[in-house]
């Protein structure tokens, strides 16, 4: 069996989150949404979420819990706690939160991306997690690819998502 055939690729849509191990690769596309990766190096296990908003609007009971930071991050943290893991067992990275319409929304206090970033930081801190790295804000889209076996995260910036490939680990 070739190494390529053992890779399981999972594409997260807005509001999704997933766990994986070994050869799992998680990927997503971001604008104002935020993705957070969680990697457990010693177990080659990890998770990634792609949330849309910080909190669930009071008039929306039908969206999945993955859509909102205030619901997604406690669910992921709870799973790790149930597995007996501590915050310092993981490497955590945050991506996204861009201002996709800078000409329409020039005032920072109205930006969904900035609100998403702040919510992620606040909730991660509340669970005792610290960020190893972040690539947030700005006026760009991002494609994030997380290889769970190695913990490597690749981020592509830009409209076409081809330029400025950056590798992280």
- Residue ranges per structural domain of the chain: 3-168
Dihedral of CA 112/117/118/123: which sign? Answer: positive
pTM over 0.85: yes
Give the residues across from 84 on adjacent strands: none
Average pLDDT over residues 103-130: 86
- Give the per-residue pLDDT at 4: 52
Using CA atoms, how far apart are residues 10 and 18, in angstroms rounded to an integer? 8
| CATH class for the region spanning 3-168 | alpha beta
> Per residue, what are the HEC states of the chain?
CCHHHHCEEEEECCCCEEEEECCEEEEEEECCCEEEEEEECCCCEEEEEEECECCCCCCCCCCCHHHEHHHHHHHHHHHHHHCCCCHHHCEEEEEECCCCCCCCCCCHHHCHHHHHHHHHHHHHHHCCCCEEEEEECCCCCEEEEEECCCCCEEEEECCCCCCCCEEEC
Do residues 25 and 18 lie in contact, with contact meaning Cβ atoms separated by under 8 Å? Answer: no
Residue 46 reports pLDDT greater than 70: yes
Please report, rounded to a whole number, the percentage of residues in the chain having pLDDT higher than 90: 75
Pairing of strands 91-96, 131-136: parallel
Using CA atoms, how far apart are residues 96 and 115, in angstroms rounded to an integer? 11
**Orientation angle between helical segments 112-126 and 69-82, nearest 10 degrees:** 30
Mean pLDDT comparison of 60-64, 96-100, 152-156, 163-167, highest-scoring range: 152-156
């Amino acid at each position: 069996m070739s190494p390529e055939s053992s890779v399981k690729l999972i594409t997260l849509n807005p509001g999704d989150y997933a766990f994986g191990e070994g050869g799992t690769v998680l990927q997503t596309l971001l604008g104002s949404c935020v993705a957070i990766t969680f990697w457990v190096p010693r177990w080659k296990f990890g998770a990634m979420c792609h949330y849309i908003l910080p909190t669930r609007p009071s008039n929306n009971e039908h969206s999945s819990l993955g859509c909102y930071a205030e619901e997604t991050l406690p669910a992921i943290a709870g799973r790790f706690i149930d597995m007996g893991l501590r915050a310092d067992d993981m490497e955590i990275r945050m991506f996204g939160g861009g201002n996709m319409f800078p000409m329409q929304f020039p005032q920072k206090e109205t930006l969904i991306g900035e609100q998403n970033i702040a919510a992620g930081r606040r909730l991660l801190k509340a669970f005792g997690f610290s960020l190893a790295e972040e690539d947030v804000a700005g006026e760009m889209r991002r494609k994030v690819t997380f290889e769970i076996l190695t913990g490597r995260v690749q981020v592509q910036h830009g409209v076409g998502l081809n330029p400025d490939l950056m590798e992280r680990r």
